[in-house]
Amino acid sequence: MAKAKKKSSRDRILDAAEKLFAQHGFDGVTMRQIMRAAGADVALAYYHFKSKRDLFDAVMLRRVELLNEIRLEALEDLERRHKDNPPTVEEIISAFVNPLLELLAREQGKWRHYYALIAQINNSTEFGGELMTRYFDPLVKRFIGALRRALPECDERDLFWSYHFLSGALTLTFAETGRIDNLSGGICRSDDMDAANARMPAFIAAGFKALCVPRKQSAPKRAKRKTVSRRARK
Amino acid sequence: MAKAKKKSSRDRILDAAEKLFAQHGFDGVTMRQIMRAAGADVALAYYHFKSKRDLFDAVMLRRVELLNEIRLEALEDLERRHKDNPPTVEEIISAFVNPLLELLAREQGKWRHYYALIAQINNSTEFGGELMTRYFDPLVKRFIGALRRALPECDERDLFWSYHFLSGALTLTFAETGRIDNLSGGICRSDDMDAANARMPAFIAAGFKALCVPRKQSAPKRAKRKTVSRRARK
DNA sequence: GTCTATAGCTTGATAGAC
DNA sequence: GTCTATCAAGCTATAGAC
């Protein structure tokens, strides 16, 4: 807020769109709503971005580059500090998660909406597979490489499924939906990202270490679904 | 497919709505699209359900009761088998997850779309807090009670955050978005729920056990975000 | 229960003045 | 860059015939 008083209309449109897309999804928002929030006419949105979908893509693209850059830097810093012995699983997870907190601390409102948007995309059948792959997989593969070195005898499939569980836990947590507030009767709060961050790396790292161990066969033992009762028809 | 050839139009509308809502979200689908897929006129939808929102609620409600009932039964069966000593964390998680697989095996197509819908709702800022609380929290509290007994010295907040991580991992996994297929270069498949189920309980149980341990103080140690580099401005 | 027909509005997008 | 004005299309929802 020091110098940045003169914000371009393009940025104000992106800000308004980011917030509204995060709250209601791509189809839950109209260009008119966005432009009302941005304080300008609809036609201006089509001047800067030629369609609603292009505006959406611009919202996504605006932050993803910085986010990935900072995460990569966190990982490289970590590896530099551990010249020979690889860093621990927990340290690697922290390098993946901490930058999200750091950015949140920098500009409270903006990143919060962005994370909520990512959570929706990650869990969307329509966009999840495609967009998450396009925007995040190069970085994620880099992190998985580090995890592979920290868990040298790990089966590849266990590694990918473990990351998948991490991804689900992470995006839901940063979506701040308010559910944990209700479930816990108020003793946990969705917007308490420090509380989440104090717990997630330990939780996730334990999962990786439990799953990514050498096996007799490379395939995991199959659970037998024995907990389902025999009266399993309606 | 044995006997059920005569399906009521009400059910055909619900089936079509379930599939389309799961694929594109509430606002991403029109009543016309739904009724085109259901093979009847739009007006019929308003006859059976009086609004689009009511149709959506009916889609949600149709399956949630059976789902929760079977899960509760799985937990009660488990506890019955462990009269005195409480079941393990992993067994409890399996009782929470296995019924999803069981229902999927019963009616492939239907539940698959339903799970994808749940994943979107769970991660929606707009509906997540409210709807997940309304539909699932009674059952979830029952499971958390069982986990509390299996982890007797656990801090309450650790318990709720652990469940939160479980919830994110679980809903994303059952959404089958196709992302893990891309990320893993094809060696893991989103629709291979047996592979997911073989891994998730072990992963999640390890997380619970790592986090839910007695501490010196009840508050967890704060991570210091030390992995973020000093050059953290754009 | 199921359809036709239509009301009343909102949508994404554009043409063109300034 | 920004606005006014407008379009064709599609939207939710209802009234009323059968």
pLDDT at B225 over 70: no
Task: Kindly list the protein residues whose beta carbon lies within 7 Å of any strand D atom.
Answer: A 9-10, 40-44, 47; B 29-33, 42-43, 46-47, 50-53
Model confidence over A172-204: pLDDT tens digits?
A: 999 999 999 999 999 999 999 999 999 999 999
The model's confidence at residue B219, banded by pLDDT at 50, 70 and 90, is low
CB atoms within 10 A of CB B224: 9
Indicate the domain borders of chain B.
9-50, 63-211
Q: Does B183 touch chain A (CB under 8 A)?
A: yes
The answer to whether the beta carbons of residues A179 and B133 sit under 8 Å apart is yes
- Number of CB pairs, chain A paired with chain B, less than 8 A apart: 309
Between A223 and B183, residue with greater pLDDT: B183
Rounded CA–C1' distance between A75 and D5, in angstroms: 54
C-alpha B105/C-alpha B172 separation (Å) is 19
pLDDT at A226 over 90: no
Instruction: Supply the mean pLDDT for chain B.
Output: 92
pLDDT value for A229: 45
CB contact under 8 A, B202 and A211: yes
CB contact under 8 A, A172 and B170: no
pTM for the model? 0.93
Facing A128 at nearest CB: one of B178, B195, B229: B178
* Closest-approach nucleotide to residue B50, Cα vs C1': D13
The model's confidence at residue B40, banded by pLDDT at 50, 70 and 90, is very high
pLDDT value for B230: 40
What end-to-end distance do the CA atoms of chain A give, in Å?
60
Looking at beta carbons, which residues of chain A come within 8 Å of B178? 125, 128-130
* Closest-approach nucleotide to residue A8, Cα vs C1': D1
Q: Average pLDDT of B193-198? A: 97
**Residue with nearest Cα to nucleotide D1 C1':** A44
CB atoms within 10 A of CB B175: 27
Q: Average pLDDT of A55-84? A: 97
Q: Can you read off the two tokens belonging to residue B11?
A: 């059910």
Computed on alpha carbons and rounded to an integer, the radius of gyration of chain A in Å comes to 21
Q: Which of residues 20-79 of B touch A (CB under 8 A)?
A: 22-28, 66, 70, 73-74, 77-78
**Which CATH superfamily is A8-50 part of?**
Homeodomain-like (1.10.10.60)
Looking at beta carbons, which residues of chain A come within 8 Å of B208? 203
Question: Using the 8-state DSSP alphabet, how is residue A221 labeled?
Answer: P
Looking at beta carbons, which residues of chain B come within 8 Å of A77? 227, 229
Q: Average pLDDT of B163-176? A: 98
pLDDT value for A7: 86
Model confidence over A90-112: pLDDT tens digits?
A: 999 999 999 999 999 999 889 99
pLDDT at B221 over 60: no
Q: Mark the nucleotides of strand C covered by protein, meaning any atom under 7 Å from a CB.
A: 1-5, 10-16
Model confidence over B59-115: pLDDT tens digits?
A: 999 999 999 999 999 999 999 999 888 999 999 999 999 999 999 999 988 999 999
Question: Using the 8-state DSSP alphabet, how is residue A87 labeled?
Answer: P
pLDDT value for B109: 86
**Residue with nearest Cα to nucleotide D11 C1':** B30
Facing A133 at nearest CB: one of B77, B120, B183: B183
> Which of left, alpha, beta for A222 (phi over 0: left; psi -120 to 50: alpha)?
beta
Q: Can you read off the two tokens belonging to residue B200?
A: 């998730």
> Which of left, alpha, beta for B40 (phi over 0: left; psi -120 to 50: alpha)?
beta
Rounded CA–C1' distance between B123 and D6, in angstroms: 39
**For the purposes of burial, counting CB atoms within 10 Å of the CB of B190, is it exposed (0-12), middle (13-18) or buried (19 or more)?**
buried
**Residue with nearest Cα to nucleotide C3 C1':** B41
Strands (E), B13-127: none
The model's confidence at residue B229, banded by pLDDT at 50, 70 and 90, is very low
Task: Kindly list the protein residues whose beta carbon lies within 7 Å of any strand C atom.
Answer: A 29-33, 42-43, 46, 50-53; B 9-10, 40-44, 47
pLDDT value for A109: 86
Q: Average pLDDT of A16-21? A: 98
C-alpha A99/C-alpha A90 separation (Å) is 15
CATH of domain B63-211: 1.10.357.10
Same topology between domain A8-50 and domain A61-211: no
Q: Does A194 touch chain B (CB under 8 A)?
A: yes
Class of domain A61-211: mainly alpha
The answer to whether the beta carbons of residues A22 and B25 sit under 8 Å apart is no
CB contact under 8 A, A164 and B156: no
pLDDT at A220 over 90: no
Run of H or E including A79: helix A52-81
CB contact under 8 A, B199 and A158: yes
Rounded CA–C1' distance between B22 and D4, in angstroms: 40
Taking alpha carbons only, the member of A197, A158, A125, A187 closest to residue B223 is: A197
The answer to whether the beta carbons of residues B19 and B110 sit under 8 Å apart is no
CATH of domain B9-50: 1.10.10.60
